[in-house]
Amino acid sequence: MAIGAVVLPGAVDAAETPEVSVTFAPASFGALAPGQDLVLNGTISNSTAKAIPAGTATVTLNRTPVSSRADLNAWLDAGTAVADGKLGSALTRAGTPEVPAGHSVPVAITVPAAAVTLGFQSSIWGTRAIAVTVRAGDSVVGQSRTDLVWAPGGAVAATGLAIAVPLNVPHSSTGLIPADLLATYTGAGGLLSHELDEVIGRNVAIGIDPMILASIRILGDSAPPSAVEWLARLQGVTNDTFALSYADSDLAGANQAGSKRLIAPSAFPIDANLFPGATTATPSPQTDTPTPTLTPTPSATGQPVNPLPTPESLVAWDYTIKNVAWPADDTVVEGDLDAFESFGVTNTIMDSSNVTYSLNYTPSGAATIDKHRILVSDNTLSSLLRSAATATSPIAWENAMAKLSSAIAVVGRERPSKSRTLLATLGRDVTGSEFRLSQTLDALATLPWVTPATMSALTKASDPLTASVNAKPESTARVAQIKSLLESEATVDSFSSVLTDPTVLTTERRLSLLAMLSNTWNTDGAAWATASAKYLDKSKTIVDSVSIAESSSLFLTSQNSPLPVTVSNKLAWPVTVYVSVRSPTGILNVLDPRVELTIEANSQAKASVPIRSVANGDVLIDTALSSATNVPIGRPVQTKVEVQAGWETAFTAVVAVLVVGVFGFGIWRNINKRRKAKKLARGGNTGDQPGGAPEPVAESAQTETKPS
């Protein structure tokens, strides 16, 4: 349904999306003074298959000023019909043309100044309700309810209006904007160029996403010239500025998911080649708490050389308003404010529907909830501001402007003696369609009942009203998904202790996490779910990249042979792990409970775990990996080990017998040879006589005893 359009019962049959709509809005931003004609510009749209006959438009005016925002909201509620008797007095009737099937036809109605009579209330300024009812024959085609502000001259109760606008980019999953996109965004007609053009030099506070600053600065000499020029323009703005969370991440959602910390980049992938002549950070002299400092090194000419950027310098900015948290609309619970304070936040922007007052009027935008300072973004004004800034047609813009003008005027009439300053904000959805923001700001500046105000003044208000949180927790499903993302990043952070330089993993995961938490995803839930699943899958792939190569069984035949454990590393960097083996029985004794092993990139390596087998049998051992900081790595593996240490004993015994036999035979032969040698030395060779006759006995050796 078009803005301000109402389709009444008895008109063309209407479904959830009406097939016929009528939209009218007063010109001049809804402001009308005595002596001026009332000009109403409108459109009759026909999506049916039949033409709408020519008819009549009746303009009615309720002369009584609208006295409260509740009454104004009820009047403008397109979902509620208002009886003819409550529409007010008819000012004029005008003919309407035939509207062909599937077409929209513009209609302009002018009510002469003389016909705009307010009677005795003509001297009272304020919002009046207007309706345009279109009939074709006896049938009501549709009705458009809008409003105007009657300004007869003289003093009016002006309301201050501060405006905050986010300077951000569409969602992504990387946490840094690529150079080609930066060139597009900051080029002529680009998104960031347009966003800056719309607010620069105007009475608007700019919430800057630090991701944009880091994305430009980290490119060094390779940054697109348009991006460098854009950054210089931003540096020169006179607007109030404050920092969004990095990547405009969801502060409330992260806290509700259990983060309990301000998630920020831990490091950046800085390429020193993009900063010719730069030096790295040099640590200062050792103190109780070492703090790295940057010490420029003099060049050959004696001039100091600029250091490489640091994580801090990449996002640094001289903001005029410090320590602001801006969670998405309607996402805050009371515990979030305590968490924000622990992060150092001193001012939190909250949507007014997320805040409760015990008041019967609209308070200023500065409030306190317990001890927390709150800047309350008026929900109605913000909605109308966004409608005007993103209006796709002149009629839609005029209608939104008329409603915005009237809504502010009603606030002024609530308590004319009490001046107030309200805050309105633009949304986080980045469509590039805020092409009427500057036009809207210019129009607001012409309204006498609107006084420009600054957000910085609201932060310093000396009389903030007491309020309480109207709890608006994020959906259970979203919080659960954010919790999964946080846990996934934490798992990779722990796992990275296997690396000499953990930042090669943790930097990318943290930046990507912040990108996944961006509020700019809120209008595209399906895309966020898909991107979140990819983030979780990548984190799982990382932590599964170092693992034990499983083996069905091992066979040990020695009491002291080492147990081989093969570890695989699929990362692009070397890792160091510790292999631990546990035997549940006494068959195997593990002699070293932690064996260090380094595995090169994209390779495998084998650890030798010293063990001792004391008996034979089957053992189901548990093998696990850990990092130097005792973080478990991968999944533990169970392996069956068959121990047959007796085979070694039997084999040794056989070998020993053989050795003894060989040595014994050799000794026997030596002894036998020596005996033969000795015999030869004493009596000659007895084994060489022919026929084998015995050796003759020497005479001297023979004696005979004769008989006497």
Q: Could you tell me which residues come within 8 angstroms of residue 549 by beta carbon, excluding any fewer than 6 positions away?
A: 566, 567, 568, 604
Question: Residue with structure tokens 């009528």?
Answer: 22
Give me the pLDDT at residue 684, please.
52
CATH class of the domain at 160-273+309-469: alpha beta
- For 654-675, the pLDDT digits (tens) are 445 555 566 666 776 777 777 7
Q: Over range 489-493, report the average pLDDT.
A: 98
Q: Tell me if 350 sits within 8 A of 324, measured CB to CB.
A: no
Least trusted range by pLDDT, from 80-84, 92-96, 295-299: 295-299
CATH classification for the domain delimited by 5-154, as one of 3.40.190.290, 3.90.25.10, 3.40.50.720, 2.60.40.10: 2.60.40.10
Give me the pLDDT at residue 17, please.
53
In this prediction, residue 422 has a pLDDT band, given cuts at 50, 70 and 90, of: very high
CA dist., res. 702 & res. 439, Å (int) = 156
CB atoms closer than 10 angstroms to residue 45: 21
Domain boundaries, the chain: 5-154, 160-273+309-469, 546-647
Q: If you count them, how many residues does the chain have?
A: 708
Does domain 546-647 fall under CATH 3.80.10.10? My reply is no
Q: Could you tell me which residues come within 8 angstroms of residue 15 by beta carbon, excluding any fewer than 6 positions away?
A: none
Q: Do domains 5-154 and 160-273+309-469 have the same CATH topology?
A: no
Q: Over range 281-303, report the average pLDDT.
A: 41
- For 364-391, the pLDDT digits (tens) are 999 999 999 999 999 999 999 999 999 9
- For 596-606, the pLDDT digits (tens) are 999 999 999 99
In this prediction, residue 577 has a pLDDT band, given cuts at 50, 70 and 90, of: very high
In the predicted model, what is the mean pLDDT of the chain? 87
C-alpha dist (Å) from residue 272 to 220, 278, 310, 443, 512: 9, 7, 11, 49, 22
Q: Tell me if 324 sits within 8 A of 243, measured CB to CB.
A: yes
314's tokens: 């990449």
Q: What is the pTM of this model?
A: 0.83
Side chain identity at residue 143, one-letter code: Q
Give me the pLDDT at residue 660, please.
57
- For 160-216, the pLDDT digits (tens) are 999 999 999 999 999 999 999 999 999 999 999 999 999 999 999 999 999 999 999
* pLDDT of 707 above 50: no
In this prediction, residue 84 has a pLDDT band, given cuts at 50, 70 and 90, of: confident
Q: Please list the helix, strand and coil fractions of the chain in percent, rounded to the nearest 5, in that order.
A: 35, 25, 40
